[in-house]
Structure 1
Amino acid sequence: MEVPAHLRIRMAKRNLSHAYLVVGENRRPLAEALAAAWVCTGETPPCGHCPGCRKAGLGIHPDIIRADPEGEGLKAEEVRALRSDAYIRPNEAPKKVYLLEHSELLNPTGQNILLKLIEEGPAYACFLFLSPQPGLLLPTIRSRCETLRAPGEETRQADQAGETLADLILTGASPRDRLPFLLSLEKKDREEFPLLLEAALSRLAAELPRRPDLLPVLDRLVPIRAACEFPVSPGHLSGWIAAAL
């Protein structure tokens, strides 16, 4: 799947968070891409060619641990075993990745064990919580993870808005020509902003080899995408986007 542009930039810089909550209908491919980036030993993760990436693609990397792949729900003793395993250094990769495909099935005891591990575990341990119902996770777990929404059908309108934003930037539209679009952003739901920014960043990142002058704009837009994880109003977000252009 196409990884969101802001995430590709962080992957390439090896600047990922250590814990993500991945939601949306295409959450599994996005989580697999993150896991590959963590275990990649190439120059630009995930390179797709190094031994780490190849093993990740085949599902046989020893440092990518898939917890509860059958969706039966981990028992407390299984979570404690996972915690103990996290303190054993990776076999061959820079990081050790724990992929919990059905994290909403964790009971409160198991979640609290993992919470302590996320907060105080070794620096090489990374966590991917996948869930179609993230609201079932404890607020403390959700607050310690960076949330990523994998693109799906629900992103179509936001993608179109992101393409329009990218077009305005690429064509060098005047402030007067940009104004109607920027005003329309204030009427959008806050949940649409991460999606439209990801669409715009993806388009601009693809043009970067031919248009290095776009790099300053990308550098200004990426922090706005990060701010979408916080309760910022559409008015503020659209204002920041206008100031970034």
Structure 2
Amino acid sequence: MGVLQCDGYSGYNLLGATVTRVGCWAHVRRKFFDDACKIKGQPTITPPLKLLDQMFYLERGWRDLTPTKCKELRQEQLKPVIKQFWQWCDQAVATPKSRLGRALTYAQNQRSMLNRVLDYGEIDLSNNATERNVKSFVIGRKNWLFATSPAGAQANAIWLTLIETAKANGLDPRQYLEYLLNQLGQLPVFPTEEELAVYLPWQQVPDKKVWRDQEA
């Protein structure tokens, strides 16, 4: 069982029941922002955009809190704002092909998934951070254009996951990968989860400079 935060791309509908989808409020905001900018110049602060901005304002104040406290505050303060947003959407009238109509359809189609952010304190209001991290994969895709097979693409995904996880934990990716390649070969052929767990990025001791990001 896992949790995936993503946008409204229809391909995610193929995910199995073992994956719980959580929507991204930043993608919703982009649609309503486009509607607010339909006239050149400064965007009009429309009611839905004002409510969405209020959501993100609240979240910024909780950025450094524990997941438990964040979930508690979301239930107390964020939930009423989300409720107001859906009430406005339910009453709004717009032609389907207008910018507002497309924004409303996009949001309503993901309503249950967007509301799930209230159930988790560990998940951000948006997946913007994840999208920024995968940009390196998009920018360099010509380098691995010929993965030749799904297995090759999966191998690329594994390596990139290790690299980005190392970065997220303040480690130098290259040195961390060299460390793994040197150490994991000394484990039994079928290591246990406990044996592997000590090599996870967040388990590394901060004062071991060889693994620390040189830019930190």
Q: TM-score, normalised by structure 1?
A: 0.28
Structure with more strand by fraction: 1
* Bigger-Rg structure (1/2): 2
Q: TM-score, normalised by structure 2?
A: 0.30
